Structure 1
Amino acid sequence: MQLHSNKSRHIAIVSDHLAGGGAERFSAMLSLFLEKNNQSVTHILVLDEIEYAYSGAVVNLGKIKSHNAGFWNRIKRFLVLYKTFKANKFDCIIDTRVRSKSWQEWFITKMIFNTPYFVVVHSYNTELYFTQNNFLAKRIFTHATKIIGVSKAITNKIEQRYKYPSKYISIAIDLSVIDALKDEALDIHFSYILAVGSMHTDVKQYDVLLKMYSQSSLMAQNIHLILLGEGKLMSKYIKLASDLDIENYVHFLGRKSNPYHYFKNALFTVLTSKFEGFPTVLLESLACNTPVVAFNCMSGPDEIISNRENGLIIEPKNQEAFIDALNTFYANKDLYLHCKNNARASVLQYNIEEIGNKWLQLLHEHGL
């Protein structure tokens, strides 16, 4: 199936899916920017999950993935992928997937990818992207046109540990979308702080957050905690809130298609992750004029937060300091308002117009 148009470039964006997380949201957002700027985009998806608004054609390998995804079904998907790349003269490939199967990745990059490709690394946990098989790794990644780290720390890690050609381009936010949605009415009649993220794994450390919140003075000031997100660990966290006797102040509201009015109306947003890539929730909160409190995990928070200017940044694992920061941000009104007044301006550089143009410049630099 040939999908090419008469636009200036035909770009394949390869993603796990277009739902759920910041990496997937960025793939969708980038496609909207590229199509608006006369580029033709084809999304190639591993899983049949589409939630975010996007632009371009879609080759959805997830639709032909059987329940058990056995050998012959995998061969069928490889054939569809092979025929897609053979039929379409893509000018370049932007590959945002995580990678866990070394030989599969070798096959894809050698037998299917037939044009310059860029690998995007969205997490400081780079083991999700780079195979531990050094023999195969050299044959997979040394031929990538460039490996893109979405934070400076990720980019430095790629260069120092793996010795691959890399470049820093952060993920983006779309201020026009945020501004259109953040003023929607919100039926909440109490003051609250906010945490946003997946509960499928313990990376966000919501158990730590609940314990720190229970030891803070926020409840005594009638400040609640709202958590947006879903996953298999939610029931565990709900039980923990009950065990800590804070269930009347903690609200598990699930995933929301519009988180922006929750950001706007929060006193501040908190992030307690073990690791990140470049945490979108911090950018989105600040874009809504809401300051942030975050552990300085690897990576991203210290590239986004200027301490005591747009938020508070805390040494990783230092729960006592984090509790103190929660209390301080409520009690010190001058500090809080100073950070709140600086919030929006601190993230204007991450608007999709700015980041999208960096991608266009990258393609131009490589003669594409």
Structure 2
Amino acid sequence: MPKDTHKKIALVTISLAGGGAERSLGILSTMLSGLGHTVHIVTLREDIEVPYTGTLFNLGSYKFTDDSLTARWGHLKRLRAYLIQHNFDLIIDNRSRPSLLKEICYTQYIYRNLKVAFMVRSARLETYFPKPISIAKRLYNNSNFIGVSKRICDKITETYGFRNTNHIYNAIPQFSVAETSSTLPSTYILGYGRLVDDVKNFSLMISAFAKANLKTPLVIMGDGQDNEKLVILAKKLNVSNKIYFVGHQRQPSSIVKNALFTLLTSHYEGFPMVLVESLSLGTPVISVDCESGPNEIVQHGHNGLLVPNYDIVALSNAIRMFVLDGELLAHCKSNAKDSVAHLSQEQISNDWNTLINSL
């Protein structure tokens, strides 16, 4: 009788609401379930927005308003009890992990004697490893890490010396191209994501767009703490009449699909879903070469343009080139979908299955 290779897997995450990391986790739950694994999603906060597949344990719903030390300890005991009760073959930890005290608690108590793989979804490693480095090395000694880009895995090895690292790229979402209620111009450039400038650097995008001095408008899609700041910057640069701030869209695919091209100007990334989503919908991209992800996705002159980060002149020139050189834009557009075919859910599911069975 053949051995049953199906596993019982827990995906631990802060929440199921937010940006690309949360969308990627929802996709992962569906892929693993599709492979026949039994999937539980454990959320530490009660925010649930992205689609998922599996059994949800919403630990956040138990918090209520009591934030005392006793309540927090009870919260952690409840999580430990759930993991023990269900006897998971593997726990995949998707949390950000910057707090040393929390990570001592997780590694020494909550995950004690359990098999855990830690996801790292950003090149900013301090988001996923507490300081100091010497203590992090001891906490995670012999742990398994899964990075969403090759560069992230290399950086983990360079910084901490950990060798048990594997990279698995984020998979392409399955879109239903529904029409949006937003009124947009017929032709436009697109930038989208969380409007948090310390991460996504929309200020660079707006500044380069202004410097390009084109008639084609820019659509910025997303919500965040820096929305007003970016509106003020657009006014200051005299391009507010050419920038459309359309907020968060629950059905963004038609906006992405109909754009001339998509811009990404982040300070840092992991494996940016903005680029993957755009290319999968046939929309070419211009991205800064930030750490990490873009240079593992964008093939310069083939499916988009890759420019040095923080170089406003290079970025504005790339924007002008795509708008004014119809032949180059058409060439990159024709290659967009095929360039991310290796990121299909079928292929990434196989990568996950191979890794899970090796751990």
User: AA paired with 1:131?
Assistant: P
8 Å Cα contact 1:182-1:264 kept in structure 2: no
Separation (CA, whole Å) in 1 of partners of 2:195 and 2:117: 30
1:193 aligns with 189
Q: How far 1:168 moved relative to its partner?
A: 1.2
Once the two structures are superposed, residues 284-317 of structure 1 have per-residue CA deviations (whole angstroms, 9 ceiling, x without a partner) of 0001111001110001111100000000000111
Matches within 5 A, 1:141-220: 141-144=140-143, 146-164=144-162, 165-174=164-173, 177-178=174-175, 180-181=176-177, 187-219=183-215
Q: Please, which runs of 5 or more residues in structure 1 have no aligned partner?
A: 1-5
Q: Is the 8 A contact 1:41 1:56 kept in 2?
A: yes
User: What's the CA shift for 1:58?
Assistant: 1.4
CA distance in 2, matches of 1:65, 1:201: 31
Looking at structure 2, the residues matched to 98 and 360 of structure 1 have their Cα atoms a distance apart, in angstroms, of 24
Aligned counterpart, 2:43: 45
Residue in 1 aligned with 2:107? Answer: 109
Question: What is the deviation of 1:68?
Answer: 6.5
Give the secondary structure class of the aligned counterpart of 1:198.
coil
3-state SS of the aligned residue for 1:235? helix
The amino acid that maps onto 2:160 is: Y
Which residue among 88, 94, 97 is the counterpart of 2:95?
97
For 1:314 and 1:70, the matched residues in 2 are separated by: 49
- Aligned pair partner of 1:56 in 46, 50, 54: 54
Corresponding residue for 2:23?
A: 25
Match of 1:240 in 2: 233
Over the matched positions of the two proteins, sequence identity in percent amounts to 34
What is the rounded CA distance, in whole Å, between the counterparts of 2:292 and 2:93 in structure 1?
Answer: 20
1:87 to 68, 85, 88: 85
In structure 1, give the amino acid aligned to 2:15.
Answer: H
| Counterpart pick for 2:9 among 11, 35, 50 | 11
Corresponding residue SS for 1:191: coil
2 CA distance for matches of 1:319 and 1:140? Answer: 41
Q: Which residue is equivalent to 1:3?
A: none
Is the contact between residue 269 and residue 290 of structure 2 (CA under 8 Å) also seen in structure 1?
yes
Q: Is residue 122–residue 270 contact of structure 2 (8 Å, CA) maintained in 1?
A: yes
Q: CA deviation at 1:154?
A: 0.6
Trace 1:213-362 onto structure 2 (pairs within 5 A): 213-219=209-215, 223-362=216-355
Greater mean deviation of Cα atoms: 75-84 or 184-193:
184-193
Deviations 1:210-260 (A, max 9, x none): 1111111322xxx11111111111011111112222112111111111221
Cα distance in 2 between the residues matched to 1:254 and 1:189: 16
- TM-score, with structure 2 as normaliser: 0.94
Corresponding residue of 1:131 = 130
Note if contact 1:182-1:288 (Cα within 8 Å) is conserved in structure 2. no
345-354 vs 108-117, which deviates more?
A: 108-117
Q: Secondary structure at the match of 2:320?
A: helix
Counterpart of 2:356, as a letter, is L
Moved more, 299-308 or 256-265: 256-265
Letter in 1 for 2:53: S
SS of residue in 1 equivalent to 2:170? coil
Give every structure 1 segment of 4 or more consecutive aligned residues whose post-TM-superposition deviation is greater than 6 Å.
183-186
Distance 1:60 1:7, change over 3 A: farther
Equivalent residues, number: 354
Closer/same/farther in 2, CA of residues 319 and 264 from structure 1, 3 Å limit: same
Q: Which amino acid aligns with 2:132?
A: N
Q: Say if 2:16 is the partner of 1:35.
A: no
Report the RMSD for the aligned CA atoms in angstroms. 1.8
- Give the Cα separation in 2 of the matches to 1:209 and 1:133: 34
The Cα of 1:182 is off from its aligned counterpart by 5.7
Give secondary structure in 1 for the equivalent of 2:50: coil
Structure 1 241/122 Cα, relative in aligned 2: closer, same or farther at 3 Å? same
Q: Go from structure 1 to structure 2 and tell me whether the alpha carbon gap of 1:7 and 1:55 turns closer, same or farther (over 3 Å shift).
A: farther
Unpaired runs of 5+ residues, structure 2, are: none
- Superposed CA deviations along residues 95-150 of structure 1, whole A, max 9, x for unmatched, are 11101221221221222224211111000000101111345313321132x21111
Q: Distance in 1 between matches of 2:66 and 2:133?
A: 30
Deviation string for 1:73-101 (max 9, x for gaps)?
A: 21121111011012111000111110122
Q: Secondary structure at the match of 1:202?
A: helix
Check 1:19–1:316 CA distance in 2 against 1; reply closer, same or farther (3 A cut).
same
Distance in 1 of aligned mates of 2:276 and 2:334: 15
Task: Quote the offset at 1:20 in angstroms.
Answer: 1.1
Q: Does structure 2 retain, via aligned residues, the 8 Å contact 1:229–1:254? A: yes
TM-score (norm 1): 0.92
* 3-state SS in 2 of match to 1:215: helix
1:32 Cα deviation after fit: 0.9
Residue identity in the other structure for 1:331 = L
TM-superposed deviation, 1:70: 3.0
